[in-house]
Amino acid sequence: MAFLRSSGIVLHPTSLPGPYGIGDLGPQARRFADYLAEAGQSLWQVLPLGPTGYGDSPYQCFSALGGNPLLISLEELAKEPWFTATDLPTPPDFPADCVSFEGVIPWKTAALEIAAKQFHANAGVVEKQAYENFCNSNAEWLDDFALFMALKQQEPARIWSRFPPELRAREPEALRRWTAELAEPIAIHKFLQHQFFVQWGALRAYCRERGIRIMGDLPIYVAHDSVDVWTNPGYFQLDDAGDPAAVAGVPPDYFSATGQLWGNPLYRWDALSRDGYGWWIERFRGVMKLVDMVRLDHFRGFEAYWEIPSSAPTAATGKWVKGPGPALFRALWTELGPLPLVAENLGVITPEVEAIRAEFGFPGMSILQFAFGNDPQGPSFRPHNYPRGIVAYTGTHDCDTTVGWWTSTGRGESTRSGEDIRREREHTMQYLHASGEPIHWAFIRTLLASVADTVLIPLQDVLGLGSEARMNQPATLSGNWRWRYREEMLTEETARQLRTLCQIYERK
């Protein structure tokens, strides 16, 4: 599928500023959309929008179809006639530069529960009818999700495979009994999903009015402790106790000498195939209701995936196993038609992987930070080798910021030696002709000038921030997904500089 010559910014909504400790879908999200338009940008890329679980990662969600309640704006709720904001607990003094999940989650969860109870007690007929319509039209996934979350609240640390046997096995009588017993928390979770989708829909419409398209992100895997695995255990490689028999990850790579051990359960592609890939079709149908285009995470895993024994201490012990190949995408094409997908074709890429991408016309990705070092794909990441049908990035959410990458000593990076870094910097300076220009603007200028149809830049690189603004460091278990920007960082000068470059290089 052909993409317009355009550019945009990567920013997850949690990184927006605001008064309640975490970015949300309220006024600051609209302010950011205005800034995108002011800076001549037409794309806003976000990370997965699901309800986060383990490690606060948007790639480890309790549901593949639900939304993250932490993104609900209390300021937007305050506009509703049934909502009384004065009943909310006083917010702690949250930091402005990062998300303190350990403080935000309990406080905002309590605040949202108060809002939900106010809605069910005070909302008018029109509001309640809209809520009922939402619940009815989404019942196929929402009923199970709300029950799952209500059950999790009983013992938050307990994963579904440790539920009582009758619940683990989803015996109908047990499901009926617990649904009745947990009616109040179930209603709260359904309300929160309704509000997430209402607010997201309003934000998306606001963006559309300003010529901003939204690119979403669809992870290849789902979390083990999710409603998806609880309700569909036959689609996953699980043992008799319901725990993963083998887990996902990638072999040793740029980020880690021992690979990345993600821990997600692997699919039983044979079972999914026998059912016509219906589960996957619904996943895609769901995400395409939220966004205009989708980055398909770990695309190479659909051709072959790295299978790691569940007992392995690292991802170094694993093997490649064939995935569904083009059969999955043919089923999606038949059911949903051509999809505006971007294939995240990074890592160990083979001709078979590229053949699938070519068959369906999915643009691939290129990362400029990977262009100048020892990465075997390095030559393909250099702009003079770009095809037009590619999405080029300065870096991704998994990378250091460009300034952080440039100033790094390599300490803690197991795959780059000091000599590697010296040669990489020398090559970078020669290639970019960057003498006297800040490195992040040299990166941005080079990509915007390239033939790549689409350029996406993390906001941290637009702002020229260092490693303190890094979003995620793969193969680490804590301290990720926390960065937030301050409102005053979005200056008119930066917007003007970005808009001028887009005008020079004819990006819309």
Distance between CA atoms of 294 and 216, rounded to whole angstroms? 5
| Residues belonging to the chain | 508
d(CA 20, CA 13): 13
Q: How far, in Å, CA of 125 to CA of 409, rounded?
A: 62
Give the H or E element holding residue 96: none
**Of residues 24, 217, 228, 297, which has the active-site annotation?**
297
pLDDT at 352: 97
Catalytic option among 76, 303, 344, 461: 344
Ranges under pLDDT 70 in the chain: 1-2, 410-416
Cα separation, 244 vs 307, whole angstroms? 11
Active site residue 398: yes
- CA–CA separation, 353 vs 299, rounded Å? 8
Topology, domain 7-213+478-508: TIM Barrel (3.20.20)
> The tokens 């190949």 sit on which residue?
325
pLDDT at 410: 63
What residues does each domain of the chain span? 7-213+478-508
What's the pLDDT at 385? 97
Q: Where are the beta strands (DSSP E) in 297-380?
A: 304-309, 319-322, 341-343, 364-367
Q: Assign 3-state DSSP to the chain and report helix, strand, coil percentages, each to 5.
A: 45, 10, 40
At residue 305, the pLDDT reads 97
What distance in Å separates the CA atoms of residue 22 and residue 404, rounded to the nearest whole number? Answer: 24
Tell me what pLDDT residue 1 has: 64
Sign of torsion, CA 206 208 210 214?
positive
- Asked if residue 436 lies in contact with residue 422, where contact means CB atoms within 8 angstroms, the answer is no
Helix 101-122 and helix 183-209: axis angle, to 10°? 100
Instruction: Identify the DSSP state of 255.
Output: S
Residues 394 and 406: beta-carbon distance below 8 Å: no
Secondary structure of residue 305 in the 3-state scheme: strand
CB 317 within 8 A of CB 309: yes
